[in-house]
Amino acid sequence: MKVNFFKAFDYFIFFSVLILVTTGIFFIYSSGINSEGLNVSNEFIKQIIWACIGIVLMIFMTFVDYRRLNRFAPFLYLFLVLILIYTKIFGKYVNGARSWLGFGGFGIQPSEFCKIIYIMFLAWYFERTSNEKEFKRFFISVLIFLVPLGLILLQPDLGTASVYIPIFLIMSFVAGVPLRYIFLVLLGGSFTILFAVLPIWQKEIAHASYFFINILLNPTFSLLLIITFGLICFVSILGYIFFPNKRYYYWIAYVSGIIAASLIFSKLCGMFLKDYQIKRLIVFIDPSSDPRGAGWNIIQSKIAIGSGSLFGQGFLEGTQSHYRFLPQQSTDFIFSILAEELGFLGGLFVYFLYFIILMRIINIIKNTSNTFGFYIASGILGMFFFHFIVNVGMVMGIMPITGIPLLFLSYGGSSLLTAMLCVGMLMSINSHKFEF
């Protein structure tokens, strides 16, 4: 079926994205201006090039029938695994993570592009297993989720890896995975992070000694704790098998299994993640605990946003960025520059554009009749929402610093092209919404 140009395009999404990308270029330019008013960076030129390529890819993807990609999803997922392994071995170190592939002066971050493939393959799997047993379906989907997550954590790139979590949770929910299984992942991940950060929190922020945290720090006691909860889980499973009417066996196994697994994974996090990466997760609680280290970013960002007031200091008039107080100001903290120079109203305008994009995605999800497209759009919704809420919360000091860019605004070709491809795929889904 030939797709009509005007029918395929979602002009609300298209122009919202175009405005955000254009705004991003202006403030990437602003981030390159120093205190003397001189431009010391060519990042805005690179971003213009990436934006032009992204627009072409977005339009191209709009007129590709996304359903044809269904058959290639397993092969693309295999490619995802291989490219992440290759990146771990041969990638370039950038900001403490081996997550980039460089070709001369050109570099890409494969884990960004892999988000699209991950969404497609998970959608492919959920579509084909709607009649499978619930636990089997959940278990395999978790394996699909853990493979790229683990490979990205090995780089180690905590920020990019974290984006895969909300994608999995939202796609699992819309795919009809029982909530008790979804909460298994959600609670397990939450306890893993908690057990991993508590020792750093005790040392760097609390400056006190707590009995339970000291147990976690002691290898012998923490091992005994893992074995204890593991045995409780095992015995409870046996109890549920032989006495299926006794539901409390199920819930004892559920809770003890989560705790045992979280303790194990927290140890693995401690092995692969650096102390400074873990510290970023908690320093937002008290940035003053390390004002010249991990807390510096949050403190300077809050100063920049606060100084913007209602109307801002004016374009190119920001002081925090031009005097280089803001770190990574063209990427992770681009919103801080925007809020400083355009004020509360400028930030509100960005919020409004994201609101339009997210609401249009929800509209596409509600109206599509194709299951594969339904799942893909849900995954993209989770990805866009997480990027927005975490980045904006991070620069305001109410969310942990994870190194997640603000899509469409932050400098970076890989994240921008990934987002533009996702928008093109959304419009392709929208244009075939009445086709199974």
Rounded Cα distance between 341 and 298, Å, is: 18
Give the residue among 142, 202, 194, 147 at the shortest CA–CA distance from 169. Answer: 142
Q: Count of CB atoms within 10 A of residue 135's CB?
A: 11
Rounded Cα distance between 120 and 298, Å, is: 35
Query: What's the confidence (pLDDT) of residue 418?
Result: 95
Rounded Cα distance between 399 and 382, Å, is: 17
Query: What's the confidence (pLDDT) of residue 5?
Result: 52
Rounded Cα distance between 299 and 291, Å, is: 7
Angle, CA 218 vertex, CA 214 and CA 222 arms, to 5°: 95
The secondary structure element, H or E, covering residue 94 is: strand 92-94
Angle, CA 126 vertex, CA 120 and CA 127 arms, to 5°: 85
Query: What's the confidence (pLDDT) of residue 129?
Result: 92
Query: What's the confidence (pLDDT) of residue 63?
Result: 86
Question: Which class for 299: exposed (0-12), middle (13-18), buried (19 or more C-beta within 10 A)?
Answer: middle
Rounded Cα distance between 201 and 54, Å, is: 41
Rounded Cα distance between 202 and 172, Å, is: 35
Identity of residue 53: I
- Tell how far CA 255 is from the center of its chain: 27
Rounded Cα distance between 200 and 186, Å, is: 22
pTM of the model: 0.91
Rounded Cα distance between 26 and 83, Å, is: 33
Query: What's the confidence (pLDDT) of residue 8?
Result: 60
Residue 412 φ then ψ, to 5°: 145, 120
Residue 101 φ then ψ, to 5°: -110, 125
Query: What's the confidence (pLDDT) of residue 214?
Result: 85
Angle, CA 401 vertex, CA 399 and CA 403 arms, to 5°: 130
Helix residue ranges, H only, 290-370: 296-308, 319-322, 334-367
pLDDT (tens digit, 0 to 9) for every residue of the chain, 436 residues total? 455 556 667 889 999 999 999 999 999 999 888 878 788 888 899 999 999 999 999 999 988 889 999 999 999 999 999 999 999 888 887 767 788 887 656 678 899 999 999 999 999 999 999 888 888 999 999 999 999 999 998 887 888 888 999 999 999 999 999 999 999 999 998 899 888 888 888 877 777 788 888 888 888 888 999 999 999 999 999 998 888 888 888 999 999 999 999 999 888 887 777 666 777 777 777 777 777 776 788 888 888 898 888 998 988 888 887 887 877 788 889 999 999 999 999 999 999 999 999 999 999 999 888 999 999 999 999 999 999 999 999 888 888 878 789 999 999 889 999 999 999 999 999 887 766 5
Q: What would the two tokens of residue 140 be? A: 């395999």
Q: Count of CB atoms within 10 A of residue 70's CB?
A: 18
Query: What's the confidence (pLDDT) of residue 56?
Result: 95
